[in-house]
Structure 1
């Protein structure tokens, strides 16, 4: 898992062979196949671990936040961005390699997005949404914006500061979830 965490982040999932994984982990191919059915299964396990850990961090932050929309949004977004960016490999697996892997993580990615959307819906449920908009769709749109901000952080030559990412994401979420 440790070798995959680094190799799947860079050079990336597509460029990482089982032989390279096993060499880096100092295990035999046989030992690898005793644990995983293939490199796709390993990527899914890694992705799901990152998602589960980040969901727990965000849920705790939202739970401990002031009971206002801005308080919950700010706490949840700051917790997510700080967790994702604390280790660039985690951010890369969750936001870049998950897309580059194609169908390998399609279901895992949809489950993750669904779980985060549910968390956003629950955290904002006490607050009216403008114009009778579908809260789930608004949550999905805001999550998509946050993902793009993190991809920018990962790939930009002039990387934005974490505080700037938080500020922009909070603005987007508050505008999307708040009354107009």
Structure 2
């Protein structure tokens, strides 16, 4: 009977295997990119500086990411996924009426995406104009946020709280407006407080959704 080949051993140094080391270096690069891209700009941050600040050699940088743009996209994806998850969790939470759900969703968004100004700086400004690939992803993200709001609006239609219509264009316009509010907040020399920003975004959403609810009630009254 032939012997089974012995399982390959994972190389371990200092109690940490090679795969863990790769992940740790990747995390350090992401954290360094968050700081440098946000404070001095993506275009002004060379790979050599990223590696120096993250204590990673260029060899290991390219082991983790194909290039600087790939690092930016990976960071962007992380920020977006976390913000979307925070908003979706509130919008899907049972037991909240429409009036309470909107400001809580906006509070969750601000806390996830804006409370750390670096995150908003990258998600709103630093990804603009980098390359066609990054721009395509940025446009996809806007549509994804719009789909989250569209799904919520459709659920309100099913409950009779909003009139029946296609809410995709409206949701897209709403996300675009929020994006511009964030850009203005980031680029203003003396921005208002996070609470003011949150309240403004919440007001915009309520103008759409609560206004739609009034339209639905008026339509019922005319029948």
Q: Same fold (TM over 0.5)?
A: yes
After TM superposition, where is structure 1 displaced by more than 6 Å over at least 4 residues in a row? none
Task: Provide the residue aligned with 1:117 in structure 2.
Answer: 146
Deviation at 1:129, TM superposition (A): 5.0
Q: Which residue of 1 aligns with 2:185?
A: 153
| Paired position in structure 2 for 1:166 | 198
The residue aligned with 2:135 is 106
Matched, 1:56 2:88: no
Specify whether residues 37 and 109 from structure 1 end up closer, same or farther in structure 2 by C-alpha distance, changes over 3 A only: same
Give the Å deviation of 1:49: 0.5
- Structure 1 gap segments, 5+ residues each: none
Matched position secondary structure for 1:147: helix
Q: Does 1:137 align with 2:166?
A: no
Q: 2-side partners of 1:101 and 1:65: how far apart?
A: 40
Which region of structure 1 is more displaced relative to structure 2, 29-38 or 164-173?
A: 164-173
The corresponding residue for 2:50 is: 21
Distance 1:138 1:163 in 2: 25
Cα distance in 1, alignment partners of residues 45 and 206 from structure 2: 40
Give the Cα separation in 1 of the matches to 2:67 and 2:52.
15
Q: Does 1:7 align with 2:36?
A: yes
Alpha-carbon RMSD: 1.9
SS of equivalent to 1:99 = coil
The alpha carbon displacement at 1:74 in A equals 1.7
SS of residue matched to 2:191: coil
- 8 Å CA contact retained: 2:121, 2:186: yes
Q: Which has the higher contact order (CA 8 A, sep 6+)?
A: 1
- SS of 2:71's equivalent in the other structure is helix
Are the equivalent residues in 2 in contact too, given 1:73–1:173 (CA < 8 A)? yes
The corresponding residue for 1:34 is 63
Alpha-carbon distance in structure 2 between the residues aligned to 1:65 and 1:95 = 31
Work out the CA distance in 2 between the residues paired with 1:114 and 1:162. 25
Count of equivalent residues = 179
- 1:104 Cα deviation from its structure 2 partner: 4.1
Decide which structure has greater helix share.
1
Deviation at 1:72, TM superposition (A): 2.7
**Distance in 2 (alpha carbons) for counterparts of 1:167 and 1:12:** 28
Task: State the partner residue of 1:75.
Answer: 104
The match for 2:6 is: none
Compute the TM-score of the two structures, normalised by the length of structure 2: 0.73
Q: In structure 2, what is the Cα distance between the partners aligned to 1:102 and 1:70?
A: 40
